[in-house]
A and B are shown apart, each in its own frame.
Chain A
Amino acid sequence: MSLFKKNKEKIYTRYSSGAANVSVWKETLDKLQNPEGKPGVLDDIMVLDASLANFSGIVAASFFAEFGAEVIKIEPAEGDPCRKMTPYGRNVNGVGIPFMMEGRNKRYMTLDIENSAEDRETFAALAEKAAVVIEAFPAGKMDSWGIGYRQLSEKNPGLIYIAITPYGQYTKKAQEFVNFPDADITIQTGSGLSAQIGDFKTEPEPYNWPLKAGMWMGWYVSGISAALGGTIALLYRQSTGEGQMIDIAGMDAYSSMVGFPATIGYTWDKPRPRIGVLDFILYPYSHWRCKDGLVAIAAPRDHDFRALLKILNRWDLEDDFKFTPDRIPDIIEQAMELHREIEKETMKYTADELTAKALGYALKAARSKWRGGGVPIVMGVMRPEQTMQNPQWAIRKSFKEVEDEKLGKYVVTSGFAKMTESPPQIKWVSCDIGKDNEYVKTKYL
């Protein structure tokens, strides 16, 4: 890890050194480093998260909470089922790990809007004061209870109403699949992610199946989409006073965020096959085994590739793989041969040694008068526990140790964006069902 410690700073890129003496830049960067005590952008709005059994609602609510909104989680007395969704059932006092992680800056109120008419009235009264409502019931359910967008927006025309479902609020299929629940894995399979991750058809089962991402990528992508859509609507509300309805379909999440499946499905006559560790556009752009684990290397431009061959001492490969078209994996066997040849060399070094070699080369290239110096870009493939130890993220305060009286001390990811004036922050964590019933009633009812 010595590579990542701060000693004398080296500049590996061509033009960056010119900035080292720009004093205003330094001052700006200093300002980024301490988010504490800065104002929350959304400190003037209240958000009701009534989503149940759909983690993307929780994710969306978290982003509003990190930016300072008062977020009130509404759930029945037995709690949102999301509390129980946790790897291998691991929990603290009945609260699962993902829920603990997202329990940032939130208030908790118990209302059984599914079963109690009285609680629905309370919810409607709260919604009059809210800027944003998030819900994940089957499409039209809230409406049938008299607390959907149609009804709530009559009394609160500035309301932004985010509804999250697998197939959305309109179309024939949305109606037909109205009771179909949302899950991360079905977003991954149903919105195009799984089809592009996994191994060659020729590998044994089940390795040749489509795969899933090892995290809730589906739910996070739809949660981010909901929060982003909500923020855009908040800007419209800020200038016009008008609210609107936002429809998030989980099955859109991946395909609409990356866009490739729609366009490639149109311009090409067949699906992209799964190509294991290879990349379908860039090569080399992959990971290899090395002495102490795995190393990721990106050297796709021809001059980056030449630089890689130089640091690996494999100039003999240059002739066969000189140009991008020689390396793109339309001929799998050819691409895999290069992959194996590179691995012969990466196996001789540790990931840090390879990273240091690449940075050393970049240092020289950055000072070369020739534009085509090339930079092989290298990084060890870290496990999350290694990422946590990297001083880069300690300095950037990307993790925060938090403490809850019931759940004890634990670490959460924090402050994904560093902003000079109004950064996202974690002020507290809590997960107690109904903890803020009185607070909410006193303040809003």
Chain B
Amino acid sequence: MEDYFSYTAKLFDPAKIKEKPEVFKGLRVLDFTHVIYGPTAARILADYGAEVIKLELPFYGDLWRPATYWGRYWKHSNPIWHFVTQNKYFVSLDLKHPDAKDLIYKMAKEADIVLENFAPGTAEAWGVGYSSISKIKSDIIYLSCSTYGQFGPMRYFPGWDLLAQAASGVLSLNGFPDTERYYKLPDYLGDFVPGNLGAMSLCMALYYRNKTGKGQYIDLSQTDSMIRLLPHFTFKSVTGETLGRTGHNDPAMIAASMFKSRDGKILGVACATEKQFEGLCSAMGKEDLLRDKRFNDYFEALKEENAEALRAIVADWIKTKDCAEIVKLACEKGFAAAEVMNDPMVCEDEWRRERGSVILFNDEMYGEIALAGPSARLSKTPARTKWTARPLGYHNRLVLMKFLGLSERDMEALEEKHVIGSFDDRPGLKPPLYYHLDKDPIYNYGREVKR
């Protein structure tokens, strides 16, 4: 039989992704969401082939368009926005304008999924909520994203990732015990985790619709999503005690903490099983620990004072070795150890480049940019990047004229009333300065262009 790794190399070959089928080909999604949470749920569907039409406010655009790290733009765009909204159709349409409603209803008739993340009730008040859309398309799947949910006494409280982290208890868990040091989770995980769970809920609703013909309404709150991940509530109900901050330690696994190596690097180390602990002891040359009754039983070894004693022994050993030596030993002896990876290390990591976890994507408008690959590799229907973010209203003509059949005159009338409208001079909204938008056949759909 063929060698396993040569078999899987063919099965998952990143070069073949383009030729493979897309699960969501033909699936139409209307995406009324903004910032990160809702857009992530929609983007995942787009990564697997759905036609996602993202609607933004004319002249203003998604709030996140200009929000880049330390205000640094890249080719007049927000570099991190490219990953968050890749593969979408960008239409600028003022949802709450009465003249926009007909267009939205027309699009809804052909849509399978609608997502919104306005304050609860807003979409309903504008006539683009589930109540209105389900009348036009009875089997629509409609996801409302919010911080606290569509019902309950806090539903109208405004919120963001940070507030979901605060309200769920997540924020109170990161930091050092007996200090005033608390830290929120980085990179808006309070948006990305619910965004992924939103995509999962939509997929479940699609599966259900395929079986029964029924659509449905989904209410997903960021706080509920973060609550789902915590064992702390169960811990409290079982032990009556609280599980607060644990600093660098993982109190649930053997010898699990972060350590500093001889060459000054910080790495995480852990043993998931007794066998892995044997591996660690053997690497340290301290097999006697396996007979120490503080450590020779899993639960005993996790008791606070025993765990502390064990971590001290491991820390002393790690101090005497370089990080790379420890990782090599971990690999040989079978315990877990990994160095802290920062941005350039992730971006330039050979393994990630080969695997397709970091993709050097060559975009028609922006040129080369590094984008993260999908977090799951599907052998037959893999996710892919087709294009990055686009300027505000870039696909207006394509979507409204080609798909909705509007005429040149209709377009002019809509523009005049500010129902549609494109970017202004702000970075994040406009195309790169060097880019010849007048020669772009998509932006100019229906007009003659010379390439």
Q: What residue in chain A is nearest B187 (Cβ atoms)?
A: A258
What does DSSP make chain B's interface, helix, strand, loop or mixed? mixed
From B148, B184, B224, give the contact of A286 (CB < 8 A): B184
**Chain B interface: which of A121-129, A140-148, A309-317, A435-443?**
A140-148
- Chain A residues, CB < 8 A from B153: 4-6, 9, 391-392, 395
Docked Cα-Cα span, A414 to B123, in Å, equals 27
Quick one: which of A281-301 are within 8 Å of B by CB?
A: 281-282, 285-287, 289, 294-296, 298, 301
Distance in angstroms between the alpha carbons of A210 and B171 in the assembled complex: 16
**Cβ A362 vs Cβ B131 within 8 A:** no
Bound Cα distance A180, B332 (Å): 8
**Of the residues A53, A167, A191, A416, contact of B220 by C-beta under 8 Å:** A416
| Given A210-B258, A247-B379, A383-B244, A421 contacting B214 (CB threshold 8 A) | yes
A148 CA / B217 CA spacing, docked (Å): 38
Q: Is the CB of A422 within 8 A of B355?
A: no
Quick check: B196 and A255 within 8 Å, CB to CB?
A: no
State whether A267 touches B96 (Cβ < 8 A): no
Decide: A259 near B207, CB < 8 A? Known: A89-B301, A169-B12: no
Q: Closest CB-CB distance, B236 to chain A, in whole Å?
A: 5
A263:B80 contact, CB within 8 angstroms: yes
The answer to whether B236 touches A411 (Cβ under 8 A) is: yes
Q: Does B358 contact A (CB under 8 A)?
A: yes
In the bound complex, residues from chain A placing their C-beta under 8 Å from that of B232 are 215, 384-385
Complex contact A90–B372 (CB within 8 A): no
Bound state CA distance, A55 and B192, in angstroms?
20
Smallest beta-carbon distance A77→chain B, Å: 15
Q: A229-B378, A325-B71, A377-B158 given as contacts; is B343 within 8 A of A272 (CB)?
A: yes
Task: Decide: B243 and A171 in contact? CB cutoff 8 A.
Answer: no
- What 0/1 readout, one digit per residue, does chain B (38-78) give for beta carbons within 8 Å of chain A? 00000010001000000000000001000111111010000
Check if B219 sits within 8 Å of A417, measured CB to CB. Answer: yes
Segment from B247-255, B393-401, B442-450 that makes contact with A: B247-255
Flag if B5 contacts A256 (CB, 8 Å). no
Chain A proximity mask over B5-45: 1 for CB below 8 Å, otherwise 0 = 10111011000000001011000000000000000000010
Query: Are the CB atoms of B154 and A419 closer together than 8 Å?
Result: no
Contact status of A225 and B239, CB under 8 A, knowing A140-B4, A265-B344, A411-B234: no
A396 to B151, CA, bound (A): 7
Pairwise interchain contact B268-A277, C-beta atoms closer than 8 A:
no
Taking the closest CB of chain A, its distance from the CB of B289, in whole angstroms, is 17
Chain B residue at minimal CB-CB distance from A386:
B169
Given A15-B122, A18-B124, A189-B338, also A53-B343 (CB < 8 A) = no
B214, A186: Cβ atoms under 8 Å? no
Pull 14 A–B residue pairs with CB atoms less than 8 Å apart, ordered by A. Answer: A14-B122, A16-B125, A17-B121, A143-B7, A169-B5, A185-B336, A192-B346, A206-B247, A213-B185, A215-B232, A381-B171, A384-B236, A390-B167, A418-B218
Give me 19 other A-B pairs in contact (C-beta within 8 A), A232-B378, A416-B220 excluded: A13-B158, A19-B122, A89-B300, A97-B234, A172-B354, A173-B351, A180-B330, A181-B272, A182-B272, A183-B256, A206-B247, A224-B200, A232-B48, A262-B83, A262-B347, A263-B82, A387-B167, A396-B151, A416-B225
The interface bits of chain A over 189-210 (1 if a CB of B lies within 8 angstroms of the residue's CB, else 0) are 1111111111100000111011
CB of A28, distance to nearest CB on chain B (Å): 5
The residue on B at minimum CB distance from A231 is: B203
- B167 is contacted by which of A85, A242, A382 (Cβ under 8 Å)? A382
Docked-complex contact A25 and B377, CB < 8 angstroms: no
Contact of A272 among B205, B256, B342 (CB under 8 A): B342
A19 to B83, CA, bound (A): 34
Q: Is A444 an interface residue (CB 8 A)?
A: no
Which of B103-111, B172-180, B407-415 is the contact stretch? Answer: B172-180
Complex formed: what's the CA distance from A176 to B189 in Å? 31
In the complex the two chains form, is A381's CB within 8 Å of B172's CB? yes
Distance between Cα atoms of A67 and B205 in the complex (Å): 10
Tell me, yes or no, whether A248 is within 8 Å of chain B by CB. Answer: yes
Judge whether A196 and B193 touch: CB under 8 Å. Answer: no
Which chain B residues border A330 with CB–CB below 8 Å? 70-71
Is B162 at the interface (CB under 8 A from chain A)? yes
Residues of A within 8 A of B324 (CB): none
Are A195 and B340 in contact, with the CB atoms below 8 A? yes
- Looking across the interface, which residue of chain A has its beta carbon closest to that of B118? A15
Is A342 part of the binding interface, using a Cβ–Cβ cutoff of 8 Å? no
B136 at the interface (CB under 8 A from A): no
- Chain B proximity of A130: nearest CB distance (Å): 17
Cβ of A239 within 8 Å of any chain B Cβ, yes or no, is: yes
State the CA gap A390–B248 with chains docked (Å). Answer: 29
Q: Is A25 within 8 A of B341, CB to CB?
A: no
Q: A211 CA to B120 CA in the complex, in Å?
A: 35
A433 close to B (CB within 8 Å): no
A199 to B74, alpha carbons, bound, how many Å? 27
Bitwise interface map of A from 356 to 397 toward B, beta carbon under 8 Å scored 1, else 0: 000100100000000000010111111111111011110110
Decide: A228 and B343 in contact? CB cutoff 8 A.
no
Kindly provide the distance from the CB of A280 to the nearest chain B CB, expressed in whole angstroms. 5
Does B231 make an interface contact (CB < 8 A)? yes
Checking B214, B237, B239, B338 against A190 with a beta-carbon cut-off of 8 angstroms, the contacting residue is: B338
Q: Is the CB of B230 within 8 A of A384?
A: yes
A84 interface residue (CB < 8 Å to B): yes
* CB–CB A89/B298 < 8 A: yes
Of A148, A256, A269, the residue contacting B357 (CB under 8 A) is A256
A384 to B303, CA, bound (A): 22
> In this complex, what residue of A is CB-closest to B126?
A15
Bound: A39/B266 CA distance, A:
48
A420 touches B180 (CB 8 A): no
B317 at the interface (CB under 8 A from A): no
Check B358–A197 contact: CB distance below 8 A: no
Q: Which of B326-373 contact A (CB under 8 A)?
A: 330-331, 334-348, 350-352, 354-355, 357-359, 369-373
Q: How far is the CA of A298 from the CA of B358 in the complex (A)?
A: 31
What distance in Å separates the Cβ of A164 from its nearest Cβ neighbour in chain B?
A: 10
Q: Which residues of B contact A434 (CB under 8 A)?
A: none
Contact A100 B227, CB 8 Å, known A53-B273, A247-B12, A272-B342: no
Residue A399 lies at the interface, judged by CB distance under 8 Å to chain B:
yes
Tell yes or no: A33 within 8 A of B by CB.
yes
Contact B165 A168 (CB under 8 A): no
Question: Are B216 and A417 in touch, CB under 8 angstroms?
Answer: no
A156 close to chain B: CB less than 8 A: no
A101 within 8 A of B: yes
Known: A196-B187, A232-B48, A398-B224. A268 touches B72 (CB 8 A): yes
Interface pair A87/B251, CB less than 8 Å apart: yes
**CB-based contact A181/B276 at 8 Å:** yes
Q: Contact at A180–B336, with CB atoms within 8 Å?
A: yes
Residues on A with C-beta less than 8 A from B72 are 267-268
A260 proximal to B (CB < 8 A): yes
Q: Does chain B have a CB within 8 A of A184?
A: yes
Q: A81-B272, A255-B357, A263-B82 are in contact. Are A184 and B188 (CB under 8 A)?
A: no
Question: How far is A287 from B20 in the complex, measured between Cα atoms in Å?
Answer: 46
> Which residues of A are found within 8 Å of B260, using beta-carbon distances?
205-206, 209
Our pick among B5, B74, B158, B250 for the contact of A212 (Cβ within 8 Å) is: B250
Expressed in whole angstroms, the Cα–Cα distance for A432 and B23 within the complex equals 38
